[in-house]
Amino acid sequence: MDIISAAIGSYLNLSNNLLTDSFIESINLEEKSISFNYEGYKVHYQHKNWVIKEKSVCSKYQQKDYREYSNCTVKAKKVFKQLCNNMVAKPINSPFNDSLTLMYCNTAENYKPVIARASISKPDSQLRKHQRECNNKILKEREYRSPENTQARQSACEKYKILKEASGI
């Protein structure tokens, strides 16, 4: 092959690759990861086909601390709303502006952050303790039938019954 044919072949190959890359970019076929800091959280997410993958949002926090994950998803919801509003108000000079705007606005509208609430559990009441004791004795009696287990069940369940009636439940 002579040098002119090789040059033309390289040019055609380069043009074809540029067209293919441009096409792939325009329809967003490849998954992309985005990560940035927002209000003290590193908000991370992935998108493909101009759709944000909801399970990817703040996924790096999910395995570490559920409260941090929850806080991050709340921040992410704010970010999506802010990006949508900004892109509508001030469109960017890009052939992908409409796709990006639609992606962020759809996510801002539809994304549901994870809301985690942690509270300190109250200690068991006497009624609850006696109920649990009665249930345990019933199970033990069913597993090992004996006069001792029957007597223990009757005693535990009678205490529970008395407390239950006294509490008005």
Residues in the chain: 169
Question: Is residue 71 pLDDT above 70, yes or no?
Answer: yes
pLDDT given for residue 8 in this prediction? 37
Q: What percent of the chain has pLDDT over 90?
A: 39
Query: Confidence class of residue 26 from pLDDT cuts 50, 70 and 90?
Result: low
Q: Domain extents for the chain?
A: 1-29, 31-118, 126-167
Distance CA 143, CA 2 (A): 91
Question: Is 0.75 surpassed by the pTM of this model?
Answer: no
CA–CA dist 52, 76 (Å, integer): 11
The average pLDDT across 21-31 equals: 64
Query: Residue 57 pLDDT > 90, yes or no?
Result: yes
pLDDT given for residue 3 in this prediction:
37
pLDDT confidence tier of residue 14, bands split at 50, 70 and 90: very low
The predicted pLDDT at position 125 comes to 85
